[in-house]
Chains A and B, each alone.
Chain A
Amino acid sequence: MNLKRRITLLRTQSGHADGAPSAAAPPQPSFKERVEQLRRPENPRTPMAACERDTALAQRLNGRLVADGLIEVDDVFPLAHAHGHRPLARLLDAPLGTLAPGGASDPEGLLLVDTETTGLAGGTGTIAFLLGLGRIERAGLRVRQLFLTRFSGEGALLARALEWFQAANTIVSFNGKCFDLPLLATRYRLHRMQAPFQPLGHLDLLHATRRLFSKSWADCRLRTAEERFLGFIRTDDLPGHLVPVAWSAFLRTGDLRSIPAVLEHNRWDIVSLAALAAELAHLYGSATHPEADLVAVARQKIASGRLQEAAEHLNGHGGRLTTPAWQLLANEYRRQGRHAQAMAIWEALAARGSNEAMEDLAKHHEHVRKDYARALDYTRALLEQAPGEARHGQRQARLMAKARRAGLLPK
């Protein structure tokens, strides 16, 4: 019995639903497709034919064969180009620093990164067969795509990407912290090369997107952000799960019909990264969006200690922001001992009828300023709102005692 038959037999006997290899194999091509495949000149039968096929493919993709097994495709999108509702030029005046403290504020130092891979499994068995990069140049947004026509082109791909990484100071990705960059680090390691992104900052737009929109959107995928936030609708886009299938079909059978769509898919990802970075930065600054959770932004700024920015952000959005966000900021000011700022917020809130702010004011006047008369005023006002509330009653009694001791009230 040959090895294949032995394996098939034993697999069946050991409980595999299907002993024969087929589960992972792509659907068989139809007779017509098979004939077409055989006729197609690109179908590599010899190394020579493979090289010709690659050259032909490079032409078809408007790129060039820059190394054995590697096609490079460059595109430039002028900054006036509108991606969805807004021009890419919005990136130029976007307050990028607001997205990540201490990060890049210069749009020309950004490097947009997105990979297309053989799968999502991670580990050493997943390869990025298409690396999309983007950066702002004088002419506009330049998108560079490095596409493998063979596994053997990977070394050249990684080497060629180095130059772009080295020229940048911040990587911009969508879920790149968890996926694209660790994967590329693995690939560099396997090729015994130093991964170039150690010194770079990394702005993962997935996190910023989640913070703003997870409450109003069902999911925070890039596609959703494009449609609901950027106003960019893809037509004839190759669905993400078919991307690995397209490449493996290309490798196995030379079928390159889906390859242009794969590159286009990736190209739009890069352009969207640029547009999304710009729009998110504006939202983190002073812009608004009906579905964006701006309180979450304020909260994040407060949490990272950027109170001035948070105050500006809250002020910038004026009445659109809810009391809890202001309250949060006031508490943070109080915690830091910046009582004047805290009191200003509470007074504004109290004027709008916030009981919580009035209570904070009562505490503030009692404990910080020792202004028992003012504290009593606020406590009385609170008791009018909620006559039965025990803690207000207690505070009133305590304040009266203190006031008496201080000679403010007759003993």
Chain B
Amino acid sequence: MAHAPHRAFAEESARRSDDADASDKGRDVVRLIERIRAKYAPRITGELVIPPRAGQYVPFPAGLDARLDHALRARGIHQLYSHQHQAWNAIMDGQSVVIVTPTASGKTLCYNLPVLHQALTTRAKALYLFPTKALSQDQVAEILELNQAGDLGVRAYTFDGDTPGDARKAVRTHGDIVVTNPDMLHQGILPHHTKWAQFFENLRYVVIDEMHTYRGVFGSHMANVLRRLKRICRFYGSAPVFVFSSATIANPGELAHALLGEAVTPILESGAPQGKKHLLLWNPPVINADLGIRASSRSQVTRIARFALKSGLKTIIFANSRLMVEVLTKYMKDVFDHDPRRPARVSAYRGGYLPTERRATEKCLRDGRIDCVIATSALELGVDIGSLDVCLLNGYPGTIAATWQRLGRAGRRHRDALGVLVASSDPLDQFIVRNPSFFLGASPEHARISPDQLLILMDHVRCAAFELPFQDGERFGGEPLGDMLGYLAEEGVVHHEGDHWHWMADSYPANTVSLRSIAEGNFVVIDTTDGKKEVIAEVDYSSAAMTIYEGAIYMVQARPWQVERLDWEGRKAFVTRTQADYYTDAIDYTKLKILDEFEHSGEPSASCACGEVHLVRRIAGYKKIRYYTHENVGYGQISLPDQEMHTSAVWWRVIPAALDSVFANRWSALDGFLGAAYAMHSVACLLSMSERHDIGRAVGDSQADWFATVSPDGRAMRTPSPGAALDGFMQGDQFSATVFLYDNYPGGVGLSAQLYDLRDKIVEQAQALVSLCECREGCPACIGPILAGEQQRGFSPKAAALKVLSLLRPPHDA
């Protein structure tokens, strides 16, 4: 995902020197790996080598506008990679495409080439959508450079919240390429489409970069924004071609299709050359085997970085938070920049810095004047910084797609490059470093969306009705539009007259719809420290009860605040800064009742199914957990209303006879279920590219007669429905223990259906996660925190979880 022209230019001009010392540097990388391996072999859990690949080149397409041809040559580009040519052909043929190729393979040129050509020859207009503002600005800067090189006169502008009022009109009327983000399209452009009439009349291309970020809730919203965009285009008589580009995921074509609602041509083969790449998976050493505590990833990363810098290798370190960027920068500067008379060798790069500062750092990197940069995901995408030799990841970035994007920052075509993923103690991290196979072969990550999720769909029907009156017989999404409009008519916001539905409320619906969450009802977190009143965060309604109860420690960027007061009705949480050495974890009792079973598979003894459930969650209290030691240092009460939700779920069930054959009693079976559920939850997040709070988990029986949880008093406390005798379930045949994973959003967002498709993989990978964990009886990295007492009573929750998982595993490969 690099700036193709720029990069290619930099590469061409650097080629001679590159070739000259390529073998030297390559040898340096190999030597570095040998040294690390010699010293730290036990910490390296996996090692992959990706062989070098020669570039596949194609001459510029016939008929390419001469000015553009000239501009490219002026930038040092004399031919195309094969995938750029393939994209040109498909796009010029009027096909919508999705381009999936690695970092630094010239992806941007795939769409810039046809877009600029058509802007020059037919005055066609294009809309570029990037998920963030920063990326938009980089993109415009790049087009402008090409523009300058060839004196093309194509006008590219960003249009976002920062665009000054007096410049907006010029963007609307003169922009050939308008670069913006989905939120701005949704709130600022579509509801004012008449002002953009000229633009929409001539709109021929819509480019959607970073497509893999449009998944889950955000992606479901995005699909609806695109429905609205296409509807507006139809009004102005245009039918643009859509160009998606994406990091590597398992189902790019499917995701593009779901987002656009029509078939999209995939372009998956990169023709860009690549040097040999080495990837090491690194697990910090265990320092407390009982509790499964490991050395910090931070200490490991700085150690490897020191080695690399001393070997003269240019290094980039990625951290997952801005705070961690600062900490790592300090550690590295302490070693390498202690002499103030010499130019700095180490630099930090993250969001929140001034654009000028960031541009300066980028330039230093391109010119090779900085040896080490520590960055957040801000440097993961788009921004051109030249190529580096070593890439260190402090913690797993959350998805394999993002991991590859970051690792793509290291490596030039003729050089060996090294990437090291250093795991933190988070379960996902631990899982990843113990399963190197995840990095081989096809991506395991599926990005799914659910554009017809009723609440999301209704939000956009509302916005679309505001933009243009709906006509009887029109379609929008998969639910009957007439019924939805009837609902809005009853609400008094639309009026049916003749065969049209007219908006008639005094409101601007797009302003109340956030693309990043479901429906309204978000809570704001207000910092009241020292009498100020500053909003520091927003919390989804669905996760509010679990995160901002009174007494909770609420973290922003790893800095702790304590919740002093929660105004449930007013949707506000008031917090103050604190120095607490503990974090808080809510204790919730979740009861699920199966309402409808859609699909079913497996054996009578152990089966898996998916369907619709009703769930009641009570948040009873919370525990305070000390950092590092994970010991409980106190409890608190929470009084909040019960949360009710209809959603979809996938569940695994074992009949009592099967359980009784492997467990001495049902209490220990329950322990096994709780541990197995924890592990399966982690794996499910990984496979579905979800955040942990997107998916909920519960253990109980399918009738909501009883359910189990980890409580302050011990693992697997059972809390039956009021009045029901528990003992009955502990014997006899009624005890059918079930693991539920559910969509943690009212109405669901399609995650469960996906998890059902991946059901065997989830159990299989959960088994690997638990069995490969180096702890003794269980730890937060595999089956969840265990109680100190359990080690003493000689019971192994870990063994119990493995027993349950093997019961759940389908017999054909058990």
Contact = CB atoms under 8 A, between A and B. Distances in A.
Contacts of B495: 151, 248, 251-252
A15 B488 CA distance: 19
Interface stretch (B63-71, B103-111, B462-470, B579-587): B462-470
A160 to B, nearest CB: 20
A10 B493 CA distance: 19
B466 A7 contact: no
A150 interface: yes
Contact of B466 (A11, A15, A23, A125): A125
Contact of B487 (A9, A21, A25): A21
Contact of A4 (B465, B487, B506): B487
B113 to A, nearest CB: 33
Interface in B195-249: 195, 197
B521 interface: yes
A186 interface: yes
A3 B479 contact: yes
A353 interface: no
Interface string B485-507: 01110111101011010111111
B194 A125 contact: no
Interface string A97-141: 000000000000000000000111111111100000000000000
Interface string A73-99: 000000000000000000000000000
B644 A186 contact: no
B521 A14 contact: yes
Nearest to B487: A4
Interface of B: 191-195, 197, 454-455, 458, 465-469, 479-480, 483-484, 486-488, 490-493, 495, 497-498, 500, 502-509, 518-522, 541-542, 544, 569, 571, 643-646, 745-747
Contact of A119 (B506, B519, B644): B506
A70 to B, nearest CB: 14
A360 B205 CA distance: 63
Nearest to A124: B467
A24 B492 contact: yes
Contacts of A9: 646
A186 B500 CA distance: 18
Nearest to A129: B504
A23 B493 CA distance: 10
A271 to B, nearest CB: 26
Contacts of B508: 121-123, 125
Name the interface size band of chain A. 35 or more
A21 B500 contact: no
B492 A124 contact: no
Nearest to B191: A123
3 closest A-B pairs by beta carbon, nearest first, are: A15-B521, A119-B506, A15-B541
A3 B480 contact: yes
Contacts of B519: 10-11, 14-16
A125 B503 contact: yes
B646 A248 contact: no
B497 A185 contact: no
Contact of A11 (B455, B497, B502, B643): B455
Contacts of A7: 454-455, 458, 484, 487
A195 B192 CA distance: 16
Contacts of B192: 122-124, 186
- Tell me if A's interface is mostly helix, strand, loop or mixed: loop
B99 to A, nearest CB: 33
Contacts of B193: 124
A308 interface: no
A186 B194 contact: yes
Given A15-B571, A16-B520, 15 more contacts: A13-B644, A13-B645, A13-B646, A14-B747, A21-B488, A24-B505, A25-B490, A119-B505, A120-B506, A125-B466, A150-B498, A152-B497, A185-B194, A186-B195, A251-B504
Contact of B491 (A10, A21, A124, A150): A21
B483 A4 contact: yes
Contacts of A119: 505-507
B685 to A, nearest CB: 22
B505 A16 contact: no
A190 interface: yes
A26 interface: yes
Nearest to A247: B504
Nearest to B541: A15
A244 interface: yes
A14 B542 contact: yes
A242 to B, nearest CB: 12
B191 A152 contact: no
Q: In this complex, which of B465, B506, B518, B521 has the most chain A Cβ atoms within 10 angstroms of its Cβ?
A: B506
A391 interface: no
A67 B193 CA distance: 28
A121 B644 contact: no
B455 A14 contact: yes
Q: Which of B500, B503, B504, B518 has the most CB of A within 10 A?
A: B504
Contacts of A14: 455, 518-521, 541-542, 745-747
B485 to A, nearest CB: 11
A6 B480 CA distance: 13
A189 interface: yes
Given A151-B469, A151-B497, A21 B518 contact: no
Contacts of B466: 123-125
A248 B458 CA distance: 22
Contacts of A17: 521, 569
Nearest to A6: B454
5 contacts: A3-B480, A14-B520, A15-B521, A125-B466, A151-B498
Contacts of A186: 192, 194-195
A125 B191 contact: yes
B506 A118 contact: yes
B468 A124 contact: yes
B492 A3 contact: no
B58 to A, nearest CB: 44
Nearest to A183: B194
A22 B492 CA distance: 8
Contacts of B490: 4, 21, 25
A392 B508 CA distance: 62
A151 B499 CA distance: 11
Contacts of A15: 519-522, 541-542, 544, 571
A190 B194 contact: yes
Contacts of B480: 3
B498 to A, nearest CB: 6
Contacts of A120: 506
B491 A24 contact: yes
Nearest to B519: A14
Contacts of B522: 15
Given A7-B454, A124-B192, A21 B492 contact: yes
Contact of B504 (A10, A13, A118, A124): A118
Nearest to B458: A7
Contacts of A189: 194, 197
Interface string A8-39: 01110111110001111110000000000000
Contacts of A244: 506
A116 to B, nearest CB: 12
B194 A3 contact: no
A186 B191 CA distance: 11
A13 B746 contact: yes
Contacts of B469: 151
B748 to A, nearest CB: 10
B747 A10 contact: yes
Nearest to A150: B497
Contacts of B569: 17
A49 to B, nearest CB: 14
A129 to B, nearest CB: 9
B189 to A, nearest CB: 11
Nearest to B480: A3
B194 A124 contact: yes
Contacts of A11: 455, 519
Given A9-B646, A15-B541, A248 B504 contact: yes
Given A13-B646, A14-B518, A16-B520, A24 B191 contact: no
